Amino acid sequence: MSLLALVAPHVVTSARMSSAVPPPTVKRWTPVVDRLIGFLGHDDAAAISRADIVAWKDSLIEAGMKTVTVRDVYKAGTRPILQYAVDQGDLAENPAAGVKVRKAPQQRDKGFDGNEAETILSATKLKFSDKISVEMAAARRWSRGYVRIRVPGSTRSPR
């Protein structure tokens, strides 16, 4: 069964499906399927293995795509399409089921270092511009007294 043929039934039968797939979702899935077909070199859904899906996922990440994009767009678009084929009896199992996309390692600690905290806090003490609204000036005055900045390794907020 063709992968592109799996996307088309979502448009045609969405009224009959228990959870209708909105047209914007189908519009988003089509380029995902096109990219998978481009990677695999064929559009035969029955010939796709779990290893193919894992290799495609890895290639997307190696190409510089963020893991959140791979997980929330590419994997999230492929899995339900292949599951639809399983539900219709066209595939024995979903090769995308259970494929995990790990979160990228954190680049730095949460919070601010001492210099960043100093810059932010000193900016709250500057004179307000005459061009900001009364509400914004009031919010800035309020934040001077209540701002808390997390500095890793410190037990209290800098002032």
- pLDDT by position in tens, the chain (length 159): 566 566 555 443 433 444 556 778 778 888 888 899 999 998 888 889 999 999 999 999 999 999 899 999 898 888 888 888 888 888 899 999 989 888 877 777 777 788 887 787 777 777 777 888 888 877 776 665 555 555 566 555 545
CA distances from 58 to 28, 63, 155 (A): 21, 9, 40
For the chain, the distance separating the N- and C-terminal CA atoms, rounded to the nearest angstrom, is 64
Interatomic CA distance for residues 75 and 108, integer angstroms: 27
Whether residue 78 is contained in a domain is answered as: yes
| Residue 151: predicted pLDDT | 56
Whether residue 150 is contained in a domain is answered as: yes
| Residue 117: predicted pLDDT | 77
Q: Count the Cβ atoms, other than its own, within 10 Å of residue 144.
A: 11
10 and 30 Cβ atoms separated by less than 8 Å: no
What's the gap between Cα 128 and its chain centre? 38
Is 81 found in the same domain as 132? no
Burial 59-80 (b: 16+ CB within 10 A, else e): ebbeeeeebeebbebbbbbbbb
Of 129, 132, 130, 124, give the one whose Cα is nearest residue 157.
124
Whether residue 154 is contained in a domain is answered as: yes
Whether residue 55 is contained in a domain is answered as: yes
Can you give the pTM of this predicted structure?
A: 0.59
User: How many domains does the chain divide into?
Assistant: 2
Whether residue 97 is contained in a domain is answered as: no
Domain that holds residue 53: 3-87
Is 131 found in the same domain as 82? no
55 and 49 Cβ atoms separated by less than 8 Å: no
Interatomic CA distance for residues 141 and 91, integer angstroms: 63
| Residue 21: predicted pLDDT | 65
